[in-house]
Amino acid sequence: MKRLKYLISFGLSLLIFLAIGFTPADCVPENDKETCEVPHLNTNDKEIDYENCTYKGFPLHGKIKFVDNFPDIKIKIVDNFPDLKVKMVENFPDDCGEWKVVENFPDVKVQIVENFPDIKVKFVDNFPGKP
C-alpha cells in the first residue's frame, strides 16, 4: 500500500513538472525560437592548459620544490596514463614538463600523494610535456 501511494505521488509530481514546463537556465528565447547551449563535456577535467603549460595558473615547468604541507599542486606518480610527462633537468627548465628541483624560491610547490591528486605525473628521460 505504501508503494502504491509513493508511485502515485511520484507520478503526479512528474506530471505537474511536465505540465508546468521545464526550461533549463541556459535556454534563451531568440527570434521566436528557443536556443539552448549544451554544456561542454570536458573529458579532461584536470584544468591543465597544455598550450600555456599551466595548471590553475601554476606553471608546469621551472623550479619545483617538493613539500609535505601546503602545496600548490598535488601529484601522483604513475607509469600509465599520465596527465603530464616530466623530465628532471639541471639547467634551464623552460619547456613544458621540465622541472629543476630547488630548495629556495620555487616557482611551484609540489606534494606527492597517493590519493586525490590534482594531476598524474610520469617521470621520463625524453620528450616531456603533454602525453
Block means of pLDDT (10 residues each) for the chain, 131 residues, are 63 58 56 56 64 94 97 97 96 96 97 96 96 91
pLDDT of residue 102: 97
Residue 33 covered by a domain: no
What is the number of domains present in the chain? 1
Residue 67 covered by a domain: yes
Residue 97 covered by a domain: yes
Q: Tell me which amino acid residue 111 is.
A: Q
Give residue 73's domain range. Answer: 62-123
pLDDT of residue 47: 82
Strands 98-101 and 108-112: unpaired
Say how many Å lie between the first and final Cα of the chain, rounded: 58
Grid-cell match 639547467, residue found: 91
pLDDT of residue 74: 97
Residue 19 covered by a domain: no
Residue 83 covered by a domain: yes
pLDDT of residue 22: 53
